[in-house]
Amino acid sequence: MSEPLAIAPVSAPVKGTIRPPGSKSLTNRALVVAALAEGPSRLTGVLDCTDTVVMIDSLARLGIDVRHDPAACTADVAGCGGRIPSKSADLWLENSGTSIRFLTALATLGHGTFRLDGNARMRQRPIRDLVDALGRLGANVSCEANGCPPVVVEAHGLPGGKTSVAGDVSSQYLSALLMAAPCAAAPVEIAVEGQLVSLPYVDMTMGVMAKFGVVADTSAARRFRIAPQPYRGTEYDIEPDASAASYFFAAAAITGGEVTVRGLSRYALQGDVGFVDVLEEMGCRVDWRPDAITLHGGQLRGIDVDMNAISDTAQTLAVVALFAEGPTRIRNIAHIRHKETDRIGAIAAELQKLGLRVEVNADGLTIHPGPMQPGTVATYDDHRMAMSFALLGLKVPGIRIADPQCTAKTYPHYFDDLRTLCGT
């Protein structure tokens, strides 16, 4: 664990332009689809972080050639045509939920035994719904204990057929099934049970699939049909990470500044660009351009907001809410209790430690602005706790972030970029 990092308050509104690194969510989806494609693919804008490194390493263990150049932000992937070359592999996924869920489905396309595992927190994160859904498609997948990893896949190809998957814990289950489905032996039909959380991430998955030549039939409500068809190798440029961009937009919001994020637009594949709509509702002004978004800070007011679709930015909003007039209620995010940590519980604990009033309920929390005391924010080995709560220190003296290196999971150079943008 790294030493705590003191955050220097800014003396003026934050103003500047930045392009965050490539999207982790898009990078891992593009790597999986490119790996399954017929023919080679070249990915640009590839994010170099823990989550993508474990994905690339695991694909190599599965016999898929990925040549990653971190300095150039590229990856050349030799597609396997939907046929996993290795006959056995042990995959270590740290705490990367996208990696273990996507690769569990991908491994069913092989022929052999594959075991997927991760760190202590990963062994607490549910995956039973995905395992059961794959079983209904004829795959032999099991959890070693309690419906959580380690996962063992006794693969003999994916037969296909009809299945269902719960939608209220993680959209990654559905995304995993969708990406593997075109390589099944027979058509796959997936029915979603219950509310589907984080819907924009499913749209993102289908957007990446379409870039590689595969389109799912979504004509029936809450059902996805995919016929056997090949992915085609292609060149694919990965957008900057919209979730990471939320921290820089928030810096402008809480300091009354102006920040432009290059490489994103209203039409980005990532639903988290919608975070700026939330900031606009709180009193900021947004300029949309074809290749950039500029946010102008304003007088902030508390709001009541459903963040189910953009829940990865809930922690960012929790910090912005502290500088608004009136309370902010963030709701419909119960599923973030199953992320890298219990994010609802972590937000509440750390804000209460700083002297603030927070009301917690089943599906979210209400945050009341007030005077804050200095302190060290625990980050729970959660990159988003570290990145979002660092913004507090831009306005409140004496804020330190515990274990700042946990940001390496998705954004290794976050604090360098924040310093540069803020001029501190």
Which residues are catalytic, by number? 312
Three-state SS string over the chain comes to CCCCEECCCCCCCCEEEECCCECHHHHHHHHHHHHHCECEEEEECCCCCHHHHHHHHHHHHCCCCEEEECCCCEEEEECCCCCCCCCEEEEECCCCHHHHHHHHHHHCCCEEEEEEECCCCHHHCCCHHHHHHHHHCCCEEEEEECCEEEEEEEEECCCCEEEEEECCCCCHHHHHHHHHHHHCCCCEEEEEECCCCCHHHHHHHHHHHHHCCCCCECCCCCEEEECCCCCECCEEECCECHHHHHHHHHHHHHHCCEEEEECCCCCCCCHHHHHHHHHHHHCCEEEEECCEEEEECCCCECCEEECCCCHHHHHHHHHHHHHCECCEEEECCHHHHHCCCCHHHHHHHHHHHCCCEEEEECCEEEEECCCCCCEEECCCCCHHHHHHHHHHHHCCCCEEECCHHHHHHCCCCHHHHHHHHHCC
